[in-house]
Amino acid sequence: MATDREVLRATFDTAAAQYGDARPGYPDALFADLIAETGVTPSAALLEIGCGPGTATIALAGAGFAITAVELGAAMAATARRRLAEFPRVSVITSAFEQWDPGREVAFDLIYAATAWKWVDPTVKYERAAALLRPGGHLAVWAADHAFPEGFDPFFTDIQRVYDEIDERIPVWPPPPPDERIDTTADEFVDSGRFEVTASHRYLWSIDYSADSYIALLDTFSGHIAMSPAKRGYLYREIRRRLAERPDDRLTRHWSATLTVGRRR
């Protein structure tokens, strides 16, 4: 029987067409830190886990890296291939990372996952990543999360009442600000016994959204994709109504990401 994690991670493939445009990219500083902390050069072999439509892949491919990208969803992988067609050193493979068989002796210098690591089977992901790395190779993971710094847009407190009405509430409201959020990824690296943590960096940025662009973003989140049509329709009508009452019809959503880098023991 499929777990909730397995069911929800499969929903992203239904949003393949809009995912790349709706989801944010990552700060340039993140990629600069990733390269600096791991010491990789364009001669290195990189493996990306869960490339989605290639958002992070494009940034590293554009810097000249050779990348093997493994993507669970067939539609998402096809989108990534189209977006990465100009990069001959990038290959996209349709497979779950847990079941992927390289088919030959392969070792990578850097394995990374951008907003995908949480969806990989926790019982095998560190062991499997370590097995595919060269001695001294690196594992790097990060994710773009909704952030609530001091003075965050009050729209989100307002709309939380609607989530409560449809029984899709957030357990803790408001969530802690970025500098107080506890990220357990570094602990997971250490607890796996496979990696020593060599770096951790946090990034914060913001994006302004119209009602259309914000709803397009929500349509790429597993919880909203899995929501019943009635709930989702009511929520989206309320988002449009509330934003229409604003002078500029827009909201500001903050994002944060924590880059965790570990070296294979």
**Does residue 158 sit within a domain?**
no
Largest Cα–Cα distance in the chain?
Answer: 60
Supply the mean pLDDT for the chain: 95
| Cα(259)–Cα(30) distance, integer angstroms | 7
* 168 domain-assigned: no
Residue 182 has pLDDT above 90, yes or no: no
pLDDT score recorded for residue 190? 97
Give the residue numbers spanning the domain of 200: 4-150+177-207+254-264
Task: Please check whether residue 231 lies inside any domain of the structure.
Answer: no
Q: What is the pTM of this model?
A: 0.93
**Strand ranges in the chain using DSSP code E only, listed in sequence order:** 45-49, 66-71, 90-94, 108-114, 133-142, 145-147, 195-210, 250-264
Q: Sign of dihedral through CA atoms 227, 10, 48, 98?
A: positive
Question: In total, how many domains does the chain have?
Answer: 1
Q: pLDDT tens digits for 12-61? A: 898 898 999 999 999 999 999 999 999 999 999 999 999 999 999 999 99
Instruction: Look at residue 72 and tell me whether its pLDDT is greater than 90.
Output: yes
Is the pLDDT at 239 greater than 90? The verdict is yes
Rounded (10°) CA dihedral 162, 163, 169, 170: -100
Q: What is the pLDDT of residue 221?
A: 93
What is the domain-level CATH number for residue 93? Answer: 3.40.50.150
In this structure, is residue 111 part of a structural domain? yes
Q: Would residue 235 count as lying in a domain?
A: no
Q: Is residue 184 in a domain? A: yes
Give the distance, in angstroms, between the CA of residue 167 and the centroid of all CA atoms in the same chain: 25
Q: What is the rounded average pLDDT of the residues 62-78?
A: 97
258 within some domain = yes
Q: Is residue 223 part of a domain?
A: no
- Is pLDDT above 70 for 1? no
